[in-house]
Structure 1
Amino acid sequence: MASRPFTVADVMTKKVVAVLPGADFKELVTTMQRWKVTAVPVVEGEGRVVGVVSEADLLLKEEFHEHRLGLIEQMRRPEATAKAGSRRAEDLMTSPAVTVASDASLPQAARLMATHRVKRLPVVDGHGAIQGIVSRSDLLKVFLRPDDDLAAEVRRDVVERLFPLSRQEVDVRVEAGVVTLSGTVRDSGLIPVAARLAGAVEGVVDVRCGLTVGAE
């Protein structure tokens, strides 16, 4: 039986620091400093995520601190100048928040981060209530899987499924996340498939395929 793909729920941080929409500027700064985070979700009701306040949102106040906001500047950067003059989370936050479901795949989460240029995503349930936070570093946790675990999964889910008759002739080695496949198989058409499936195993860094076709 194939292993279940890793999901956001497997790597997310479940302890979440969040604030209410009415949180003031100083509370936001204090919260980020205390918990050593660079952004906090804004929640209301029973934990429904309505936005995110980041350090970038707060720094706008410092950026515009030493000069008055001119009409042209306000027209060119309306959202930034509005935030610079705000004090509460509901006015400072980016909304709607970019969120991800707990059962989303790690590639899906990575694509969301890249598309929206964010470093972390609130993880929500079907009702939009917060369940955790997933960051870029969380998505990299799969690459900490032991080499022995990766080798066992490649052998079980790739070699034994594709080459049931010649599986004993295939050697699987993993070093620093790099999978090396060697040995002989009966079907040359399955060799590139084996390499592709081995590379799809969560935590695999690269695949070196040295499989060849043996004599019948």
Structure 2
Amino acid sequence: MHGSPHRVGDVMTRAVVAVGRETLFKDIVERMEQFKVSAMPVLEGDGRVIGVVSEADLLPKEEFRDSDPDRFTQLRRLPDLAKAGAVRAEELMSTPAVSVHSDAALAEAARIMALRHVKRLPVVNAEGGLEGVVSRSDLLKVFLRPDNDLADEIRRDIVDVLFPAPIEPVHVVVTEGVVTLTGRVGDAARIPLAARLVRGVEGVIGVNCRLTAADAA
């Protein structure tokens, strides 16, 4: 991965376990157990994502297996009760699928996961076809970028652009993802901007901005 910001397509898993709308309940459970996943996209015959079936969609069958819910519970849990009696993926899946495009920024995928309370997202193309799956752990891969990779990007894309002629050289040191900027620059107004841009580089964990302005005492 080189350059920033990174996109979902850079970190997603391309080998995806999926099911069709006619896949039976037991087959879904078996695939989840075999491939150690908690959710799978449901596909049409052309590979278009039409929904997602997760462990949460399957659990009502066990929850209501031997119970006789009262009318209040029936009204309040109607969707779950319907899934308790379902036998095929098309009856169990959550639809429409919460998905993301491969060219979306990682921050966008993270926001969708947080707002929709999901652990993974199908990655689709413009036609809704499945390209991969991105999970929470995939989004964290950017924090594994080497320190020298981060330092090179920050020097090239931020420091050299904002401070082409510093009073003293601007030094960029990255240690375990934490960036330290030191040096003396001519434009004090650009110092907060530099810190903000560095903080936005994918993989940066923290920023210590020790830049000083030429007119600083």
Residue of structure 1 in register with 2:46 after alignment? 46
1:133 is paired with a residue whose SS is: strand
Q: Which amino acid aligns with 2:121?
A: L
2:128 is paired with a residue whose SS is: coil
TM-score, normalising length: structure 2: 0.95
Q: Which amino acid aligns with 1:36?
A: K
Residue of structure 1 in register with 2:104 after alignment? 104
Residue of structure 1 in register with 2:118 after alignment? 118
Residue of structure 2 in register with 1:185 after alignment? 185
Residue of structure 2 in register with 1:209 after alignment? 209
Structure 2: distance between partners of 1:58 and 1:141: 30
Counterpart mapping for 1:14-29 below 5 A: 14-29=14-29
Q: Contact 2:168/2:185 (CA < 8 Å) preserved in 1?
A: no
Q: Contact 2:168/2:184 (CA < 8 Å) preserved in 1?
A: no
Q: Which amino acid aligns with 2:160?
A: E
Q: Which amino acid aligns with 2:142?
A: V
1:87 is paired with a residue whose SS is: coil
Counterpart mapping for 1:60-209 below 5 A: 60-166=60-166, 169-209=169-209
Counterpart mapping for 1:8-19 below 5 A: 8-19=8-19
Q: Contact 2:57/2:83 (CA < 8 Å) preserved in 1?
A: yes
Q: Contact 1:166/1:185 (CA < 8 Å) preserved in 2?
A: yes
Structure 2: distance between partners of 1:34 and 1:118: 21
1:124-158: per-residue Cα shift (whole Å, max 9, x none)?
00100100000011011000000011011111111
Structure 2: distance between partners of 1:205 and 1:21: 42
Structure 1: distance between partners of 2:108 and 2:215: 42
2:87 is paired with a residue whose SS is: coil
Structure 2: distance between partners of 1:72 and 1:163: 66
Structure 1: distance between partners of 2:210 and 2:41: 48
1:86-105: per-residue Cα shift (whole Å, max 9, x none)?
11100000001001011000
**Moved segments of 4+, more than 6 Å:** none
Equivalenced residue count is: 215
Structure 1: distance between partners of 2:87 and 2:70: 20
Q: Contact 2:182/2:209 (CA < 8 Å) preserved in 1?
A: yes
Q: Contact 1:160/1:167 (CA < 8 Å) preserved in 2?
A: no
Structure 1: distance between partners of 2:57 and 2:215: 66
> CA shift at 1:14, angstroms?
0.2
2:189 is paired with a residue whose SS is: helix
Q: Which amino acid aligns with 2:153?
A: E
Gaps of 5+ in 1: none
> CA shift at 1:72, angstroms?
2.9
Structure 1: distance between partners of 2:179 and 2:92: 47
Identity of aligned residues (%): 56
